[in-house]
Amino acid sequence: MKQLLAGTIDIVSPDITFKYVGLDEKDRFTTSLKGGKAQLTDWLLDPEKEDTMHLLLAQKVVIDSASVVFDKRSMRYLIKAPNICFNTEQHTLKVNGLGVHPYVNRETFYKEVGHRATIWNTDIEYFELLNFNWLQMLHNQTLWASHLNMSAPKMDLFFSYLIPSHPSNMIAEDPPRVFLQLPLKICLGKINVDKGHIGYTEVNETSHREGTIYFDGIKATGDNLTNIDTVIEGKKQFVASAEGTLLGRSKVNATLTLTLTDLLGNFELKGHAVNISGQELRDPVEALAQVRIDSLNLKSMDLSIKGNQNYSESKLGMNYTDLKLELVRAKAPPTLKAKPVVSEVASLLFLYKQNPEPSIAPRTSSAYMTRDEMAPYLSLIIKNMRIAIKEMVVKHPDLVGTVTNDKDLKSQKRGFLRRVFGKRKSK
């Protein structure tokens, strides 16, 4: 037999499982494809020729409504896509219901890892790759497409400071570093996101409580997401802009610039938010900063922050009125008890209740911090913002830092009374 030809081959309801068992257990994985249908058009088998230009030896391949599961236990995550459509002639890949989740619960996850780590949960209602170069994927392990369009992507991150520290540091897990070092090469010209969600939950080491910050209704665009050196030579940055709502109510917009030329993860983030109330911020601020917001009308906030894996620095502007706080301390975690006397003193003497104040120019604040290598990359932004906000609203940060045992505010070692009354003069 020299050749075998077929005009059309229909494969209905396939059930295919591929298992890879390598010498190293960490390399083992299982991929399964079930259901749906596949159609191969103008199929040709020629034993004397190696066909590198066609998928499955067909001029055209259409896969519709197939379910794919990728399971690699060393990753501790299970990837599921219940509905995939692929067309070689149209160069499109469409996926409904993609999910990436740990295959165990949080407690078991941290028990298996043995140290601090960020847990990711991701669901994407729908995404498509346009002008998808499947030949690059097939032969060069390169994901190349002109557009990635996503509808209703949802990403939630969880991190706990109650878990033992990483034996070395968490720098190797920084998302920019991981992306640039991926074995899979990626080049996405344009990214469009609609109805997105992103949330970050942190368990605080002092309060032992979870604080969550989240954004909904995200509409975003991005350009030049790649880890291919030759592409980076022509365009060295990934730039994204987004708008959405903070904590379900406040309108926000932001621009992110990420440098792709090295592994340090150099970034710059600029954001603007309006109409934030104290009620929205009360739960996460109390859990993460041990401060209870009784009232706040934050009319607008402008933030600029830049840094890399080693540091971050920021500039902050806030227009607000009616700020009233209670300082709280951990009593029997995860409960917090207010300090009413200190709170009243702080509200009267140590807080700027509004900005700008009458007949005074608006205040701004800035913050600089070095990286805690035992904390995740995102903490560079979260902790820096926390320091900048405290510098904005607290009149005497060093004094309040002593009362609250706040490491962000404490900078001196003099006693409490000496800070209040000053050094006693010698006779």
Q: List pLDDT tens digits, range 317-349.
A: 999 999 988 877 655 555 555 555 455 555 656
Percent of the chain, pLDDT > 90? Answer: 58
Neighbours of 153 (CB within 10 A): 20
DSSP code, position 349 = I
Predicted pLDDT at 337: 58
Q: Compute the average pLDDT of residues 287-307.
A: 91
Q: Between 290 and 175, where is the model more confident?
A: 175
d(CA 398, CA 210): 27
In this prediction, residue 420 carries a pLDDT of 38
Q: Give the Cα separation of 400 and 342 in Å (integer).
A: 9
Do 71 and 29 form a contact (C-beta atoms < 8 A)?
Answer: yes
pLDDT digits (tens, 9 = 90+) for 343-390: 555 565 678 899 999 889 999 999 999 988 888 888 888 889 988 998
- Average pLDDT of the segment spanning 214-242: 97
Q: Who wins on pLDDT, 405 or 214? A: 214
DSSP state of 310: T
| pLDDT for 84 | 93
Per-residue pLDDT at 131 exceeds 70: yes
pLDDT tier at 419, thresholds 50, 70, 90: very low
Per-residue confidence (pLDDT) for residue 418, from 0 to 100: 42
More confident site: 21 or 340: 21
User: How much is the mean pLDDT over the chain?
Assistant: 86
User: What is the predicted pLDDT for the residue at 54?
Assistant: 76
Nearest to 300 by CA among 362, 255, 342: 362
Give me the mean pLDDT over the 153-159 stretch: 97
Q: In this model, does residue 49 exceed pLDDT 50? A: yes
Of the given ranges (38-52, 181-195, 274-288, 327-341), which has the lowest mean pLDDT? 327-341
Least confident of 119-133, 143-157, 357-371: 357-371
Which has more confidence, 195 or 42? Answer: 195
Q: Is the pLDDT of residue 252 over 90?
A: yes
Q: Considering only residues 359 and 196, tell me which one the structure prediction assigns the higher pLDDT.
A: 196
Residue 201: other Cβ atoms inside 10 A: 17
Specify the pLDDT at position 348. Answer: 54
pTM: 0.85
Scanning the structure block, which residue is given the tokens 């900063």? 289
Pairing verdict, β 250-259 and 185-203: unpaired
- List the one residue out of 171, 172, 175 whose CA is nearest residue 310: 171
Q: How far is it, in rounded angstroms, from Cα 199 to Cα 281?
A: 14
